[in-house]
Structure 1
């Protein structure tokens, strides 16, 4: 061994000899640490039972809260969101009392609009029912035109101020007159043009055409007939019936 290597080895041994000695390096140092006691089996079973209680569906929090809301809860949330959109929270300082008043006024307006909507739908429904009854009534009169008293139906239409329907009954009275005289053969499916072809008298045909054109103008044209305009139209039908009865 060279002198240089001998010097290095000597220095290392000296450093190692001077290193501090720690207690926890000694053999058996850790034997004095108390060991943990084993958990009893009945304690483990109790823990498992407790854990099982929290595995039920009511303790599942992963699902959305909205899934647990009832129909009415969702409805009230939507209504609240609607009013919130009408009256958003002010960004600046605002008197809370005024804000509440505006919210109440908005609620009243909303209820009023809903009421008007429902009532308008009811009126449409009632009007639709009246139209159906009217159609059925006219159909009955036309099917039994040769045996029925049309004047009674005319009186009811005038009482109801349904002047367009009254004009129709006046026109049917003209046809009834011609049918009972044997001038035309009445059938509900026949048109005014087909009935006029059965009329041989030229003057009678012109008068019938004049009244039929007026009926078409009022009934199929959809024009509103007032009491005063009805009086003028009625006179032409009455003249026809007086002349050819």
Structure 2
């Protein structure tokens, strides 16, 4: 090795010494390096034995971390990402406490909006369901008007403070009175004008149409009436039934 190194360092160009050139790939270059013998004990396991230790599922690292997240954790992450999108990263440095407060306020607003959304949907559903039930009840009463006790339904509507429905029942009680006396031939498809064409008594006809106008105003007009308004309108129907019963 000394000779190789010497040959590499004594080369000159125009009498000047150049940088040494080491020929690492040259045959016999490393022969002078002392070698230590590796001692292999009898207890050292074979390669196959060591490899078998790491074949269990405990050493499988291929699965994604997201696979370990529960549905609730994923939902929280998505909500957090949504809130972060509402508050983009500011260009200037703000106090971390202020950012946290804004994030909390945003989260509260978000939860409140979600609550209002589901609550409003529930209220709309309940209101729609109540209207359908109410229409089915009215349809039953009108089909069996001469047999049913309308006063019972009227009392129920007043307990629920559904004054518009109560006015409708009062109107049906007027028609029921005339139908039971044989003055009109009741049919659910007939209008008030068609019923009055069967009435010869001008005063009766005028009183009935006066009550019918109240019913049209309240029911088809869609106006919300108070208890005081109902009491005032009720008096007209009560007078009609007393006069023509």
Q: Same fold (TM over 0.5)?
A: yes
SS at 1:88's partner residue?
coil
- What's the CA shift string for 1:48-106, capped at 9, x where partnerless? xxxxxxxxxx99xxxxx9xx999968766643332112212221121112211211121
Q: Cα distance, 1:225 vs. partner? A: 1.0
Larger helix percent: 1
Structure 2 partner of 1:163: 163
- What's the CA shift string for 1:5-35, capped at 9, x where partnerless? xxxxxxxxxxxxxxxxxxxxxxxxxxx979x
Structure 1 partner of 2:190: 190
Shift of the 206–172 alpha-carbon distance from structure 1 to 2, 3 Å rule, reads same
SS at 2:197's partner residue?
helix
2:93 and 2:181 mapped to 1: Cα distance?
Answer: 89
Taking the TM superposition and a 5 Å limit, the aligned residue runs for 1:1-245 are: 78-245=78-245
- What's the CA shift string for 1:177-231, capped at 9, x where partnerless? 0000000011111111110101111111111111111111111111111111111
2:68 and 2:182 mapped to 1: Cα distance?
Answer: 77
Structure 1 partner of 2:40: none
1:211 and 1:93 mapped to 2: Cα distance?
Answer: 73
1:150 and 1:108 mapped to 2: Cα distance?
Answer: 50
SS at 1:107's partner residue?
helix
Unaligned runs of 5+ in 1: 1-31, 35-57, 60-64
Give the alignment's TM-score, normalised by structure 2. 0.69
2:77 and 2:68 mapped to 1: Cα distance?
Answer: 10
1:173 and 1:113 mapped to 2: Cα distance?
Answer: 46
Range moving further from structure 2, 145-154 or 72-81:
72-81
Structure possessing the higher radius of gyration over alpha carbons: 1
SS at 1:198's partner residue?
coil
Structure 1 partner of 2:53: none
